[in-house]
Amino acid sequence: MPIIEWNDDYSVQIKEIDNQHRQLIDQINALHDAMKQGKGKEVVGSIIVKLAEYTQRHFMSEEQLFLKHGYPETTRHTREHNAFIEKVAGFQNDLKLGRILLSMEVLNFLKDWLIKHIQIVDKKYGPFMSAKGVV
Ligand SMILES: [Fe+2]
Ligand SMILES: [Fe+2]
């Protein structure tokens, strides 16, 4: 069973971005499934690598959109992205060194951060981009 499901309330009214957010949700669910099925460190580790890479590409898409349209919250928003990237890199490093095990706590952190970010921070640029004709 998925740990999160896409909900129209998550929509920022930009098709490409919504698709990327759906992909992120799918990857969180894949990570949850792998953990629940007791998959080994390698499998779980490779899903996290994919999630981290995809997240970075997604953040870049958003930031390019901000720069292109002169979004006034660019600096603050980008700062949030960077803090998350650093946090995930820290988890990856700790996992690799065996300092932590991937726990539900880590998974919940990733899930909660992404959902909260989409619902509060990402949704803020929706009306701005719509006014610029971005769909
Ligand atoms: Fe986003
Ligand atoms: Fe964002």
Tens of pLDDT along 81-124? 999 999 999 988 888 888 877 788 889 999 999 999 999 999 99
Tens of pLDDT along 30-69? 999 998 998 888 888 888 899 999 999 999 999 999 999 9
pTM given for the model: 0.93
Tell me the CA–centroid distance for residue 94 and ligand 1, in Å: 25
- Going along the chain from its start, the domains and CATH numbers come out as 12-131 (1.20.120.50)
Backbone angles phi, psi at 36, to 5 degrees: -65, -35
Dist CA 8 CA 98 (whole Å): 39
Tell me the CA–centroid distance for residue 100 and ligand 1, in Å: 27
DSSP designation for 10: G
Q: For residues 52 and 89, is the Cβ–Cβ distance under 8 A?
A: yes
Whose tokens are 């004709």? That residue is 133
Q: Which ligand is nearest to the CA of 79?
A: 2
Q: What is the band of 4 on the pLDDT scale with cuts at 50, 70, 90?
A: very high
